[in-house]
Structure 1
Amino acid sequence: MPSLVSGEIQAKDAAESLSLNPIFSASGVKGKRVTALTKECDMSHLIESIIADKPDMDSSFSVLDLGVVMELMDKWVTKFPTVQPFYAVKCNPDISLIGALAALGSSFDCASKAEIQIVLSLGISPDRIVYANPCKSESDIKYAATVGVNLATYDSVYEVDKVQKWHPKCELLLRIKYDSEGALASLGVKYGALPEEVPELLKAAEAAGVNVTGVSFHIGSGGADPLALSGAIEAAKSVFEMASHFGMSRMSILDIGGGFTCGPELDVAATKVKAAILAHFGDHQGLVVIAEPGRYFTETAFTLVSRVIGKRVRGELREYWINDGVYGSISNIIYDHATIRCAPLRQKNLTCVDAKTYPTTVFGPTCDCIDIVLKDYQLPELQVNDWLVFPNMGAYTISSGTNFNGFTSAVKHVYLACSEQS
């Protein structure tokens, strides 16, 4: 299995062909083994080698494909050449991912002190962080002030009071509500100023001597209609104009939020964003446009691997227990409305070689009856100690796992790989 270790290059030709340089020396990646994936040595071969190296492994694990991350960044730059990505750390706080994204030019959306600490621990400048949580504790605002995180969001007069008291140098983005009807997670339920609240919020910041430097919104996550971006940008423009009418300092930042996916919807979103910015901000000199993509960079970059720890047969029905579940790395079923899929890892020493499939239920390890990973899913016959492979498991997985029931069921190990991209 060709591997690459920073400072100790193995499989030199693979390294050159994958153009690993910007990521390879990044904080969070440097010094770690990165396996080059090729047609001859694919993801299955890597997983097999990991299992063979640690046959007694009793926890699930993930593989992060840095090649996918690089390709996604290239695609973002192509589709959104004037929009700076601020990766939403909440989606997946893996340090190798964050370090790689930083090396590729991303900045970061942090929602808590802990997320800020993760980013800063990698040597990333606080100037590359937006504290994108409209409601922050006073202690966390004080922390942001001490480390130099000077850009944050707000949507209430009470937040202005806290910022004025504990971090008056912080510049604010006024978060407005603009939801897409198709979004599975409509963030406007919790955040975002209503149109009639905007004047008071602008005046409150002006009276407190806190600079409002721009506007942010988030149309929602998971199936959000990219067409909503046009309306949200138009709404943001009205806030810019209102601030100017009030004689406030000229706004310069437009934060178009997240909700982006790497599918065909990205093309639609890019088209809508470009057209709306041209229509509503075409004459706004010096405008800085940022976004907060999360799942876009993570969902397809991670593969989860989990072991079968139990089995039951009831007629044609096959029931299996695995060592991860909805309280662990597969929490995206609960918190992100994810539809997942899996396939057995076919190894020479595994028994799942029968072409016949059976209606199957896959349970997580806890004793809670909602800990069901898959139901009425077709799988071949499996045995205890076989492994299941779950692709596209990077978004809201390890970030929302728990230790419920005494099971440390979330991923403990993330292995790095780099595939060849077209």
Structure 2
Amino acid sequence: MADFTFAETDIHILGEGMSACDYVDQRINAFSLTACKDAFLMTDLDDVLNKHLCWLSNLPRVVPFYAVKCNNSPPILKILESVGAGFDCGSQGEIEQVLSLGVTPSKIIYAHPCKQESHIKYAEAHGVQMMTFDSEEELFKISRCHESAKLVLRLAVDDSKALVKLSVKYGAKLASSRQLLQTAQNLDLEVIGVSFHVGSGCTDSNAYRQAISDARCVFNIAEELGFQMTLLDIGGGFPGKNDFKLSFSEIAADINKSLEEFFPLACGVSVIAEPGRYYVTTAVTLVANVIAKKVILEELPPLSGDQLTVASRTFRTDGKIANKTMMYYLNDGVYGSLGILLHDLAQSSVLPYPHRKAKPDEPVYPCVIWGPTCDSVDVLVKNALLPEQQVGDWLLIDNMGAYTHCTSSAFNGFKKTPIYYVMSRDTQLRIQLPSPHILNDDVILISTE
């Protein structure tokens, strides 16, 4: 097994009675003593572990293969590896990273239906056998590059109830499955199962039932052709936020019923899934600093209720809105951690809130919140209501764990926002991390040296 170090940053072990929010307060207070007020991301690793325990409770038959693309932070991957999760990788780079953590190749599915040949050869050379396909051309490539692959046919399923649709790009139609299986048979390739993805941010659990039913049809065709298929991959689409319109427990209950109907335990089929945002969305908070401010005094048309962000419901303490507009500029934006606002339909808005507590009678002001780059596209919130902020104040944004830091860039010369990781002593003991070095009574640092 490869030696593991947390190369990105350190992990802070929280002292007794200390929370992740307390850690944010502590770091902000430390910044107040210096000139440094850089933005940072705080990742609560306890939250990741708790999501896994929730998964085991709700979907005990389904083994999670975490979607690395969602958030590839090494501490998150290591925690999931330590509790027995597998990994959904979509490239040679992701396979390399996961293998470097000591993950065995059998715990990886190369879940990209359209792969580069050199990446397939890399998988073959490093013992990664499970991989998806959705076309005859992909079968020909795999036949040339990885004859011993264990293949999973990716089906296109109904994703009309999802916020992010995937079947338009990947997946084979159910009607074409027989021809694809016959082609695999002619090439002497082993097909072990079926996968699908109902789309990210699925809002109707019936989508899983229909997709599982479709998969059963493919299993039946495969049996007619002589294949011995043993794997069902139900993909992703599980909600990451706690306030999503469809809860994880509701989805899990319908999945369990559908599995019992179409793939009862006695049939011997193993079931995996590819959750991503489910595990990490709520684990991360962005802490950004107000680096500039502009007050707009000219008369502006009043904002209607549907134009205001949820922030208005948080800070309109006395129903009074002042007659000026604020423009705030933060040191993170859409070219950094907040790229989700441009490319992730499942999280197309964010809710910044002040770190400092508002006074009961403090007025709120319409405001626009910008990122730091020179591009006018770099806007985070166009219409919000907040108490007046000053340069040097901090704004926080929750639910920042999915498709954020991993998609950020250094555009305009702004560095990627650093990540700090926290966990409780109980979590540290559970996943058997290295012995810590005590820094003070509240925070313990695990050295990366």
TM-score by length of 1: 0.87
1:405 aligns with 2:412: yes
Once structures 1 and 2 are overlaid, which stretch shifts more, 125-134 or 382-391? 382-391
- Whole-angstrom CA distance in 2 between matches of 1:402 and 1:30: 16
- Whole-angstrom CA distance in 2 between matches of 1:90 and 1:388: 27
Counterparts of 1:4-403 in structure 2, within 5 Å, are 28=6, 32-36=10-14, 41-54=18-31, 55-57=34-36, 59-247=38-226, 249-262=227-240, 263=242, 265-282=247-264, 285-315=267-297, 316-337=324-345, 338=347, 339-346=349-356, 355-403=362-410
CA offsets 1:205-249 (integer angstroms, 9 cap, x no match): 1111111100000000024422100000000000000011112x2
Q: Is the 8 A contact 1:36 1:419 kept in 2?
A: yes
CA offsets 1:239-280 (integer angstroms, 9 cap, x no match): 000011112x21000000001025452122111111111111
- Whole-angstrom CA distance in 2 between matches of 1:265 and 1:205: 38
CA offsets 1:290-330 (integer angstroms, 9 cap, x no match): 00000000000111111111110002111111111111101
Partner of 1:9: none
- Whole-angstrom CA distance in 1 between matches of 2:384 and 2:4: 40
Distance 1:283 1:245, change over 3 A: farther
Distance 1:260 1:70, change over 3 A: same
1:417 aligns with 2:427: no
- Given residue 323 of structure 1, which amino acid in structure 2 is its aligned partner? N
Distance 1:342 1:354, change over 3 A: farther
- Whole-angstrom CA distance in 1 between matches of 2:328 and 2:401: 23
What secondary structure does 2:113 align onto? coil
CA offsets 1:361-388 (integer angstroms, 9 cap, x no match): 1101112222111121111111112111
Partner of 1:12: none
TM-score by length of 2: 0.82
Q: Number of residue pairs matched?
A: 391
Q: Is the 8 A contact 2:20 2:422 kept in 1?
A: no
Distance 1:30 1:314, change over 3 A: closer
Distance 1:113 1:359, change over 3 A: same
- Whole-angstrom CA distance in 1 between matches of 2:414 and 2:281: 24
Q: Is the 8 A contact 1:181 1:225 kept in 2?
A: no
Structure 1 unaligned regions, length at least 5: 1-24
- Whole-angstrom CA distance in 2 between matches of 1:48 and 1:165: 56
- Whole-angstrom CA distance in 2 between matches of 1:53 and 1:95: 26
The CA deviation at 1:182 is 2.1
CA offsets 1:134-161 (integer angstroms, 9 cap, x no match): 0000011111111111100100111111
- Given residue 260 of structure 1, which amino acid in structure 2 is its aligned partner? F
Q: Is the 8 A contact 2:37 2:392 kept in 1?
A: no
What secondary structure does 2:77 align onto? helix
Q: Is the 8 A contact 1:27 1:123 kept in 2?
A: no
- Given residue 341 of structure 1, which amino acid in structure 2 is its aligned partner? L
What secondary structure does 1:134 align onto? coil
- Given residue 363 of structure 1, which amino acid in structure 2 is its aligned partner? W
Distance 1:133 1:57, change over 3 A: farther
The CA deviation at 1:352 is 9.4
The CA deviation at 1:31 is 10
Q: Is the 8 A contact 2:281 2:401 kept in 1?
A: yes
- Given residue 287 of structure 2, which amino acid in structure 1 is its aligned partner? V
- Given residue 325 of structure 1, which amino acid in structure 2 is its aligned partner? G
Identity of paired residues, percent? 39
Distance 1:300 1:37, change over 3 A: farther
Q: Is the 8 A contact 2:68 2:89 kept in 1?
A: yes
Q: Give me the CA root mean square deviation.
A: 2.4
The CA deviation at 1:354 is 7.8
The CA deviation at 1:353 is 9.8
Q: Is the 8 A contact 2:198 2:235 kept in 1?
A: yes
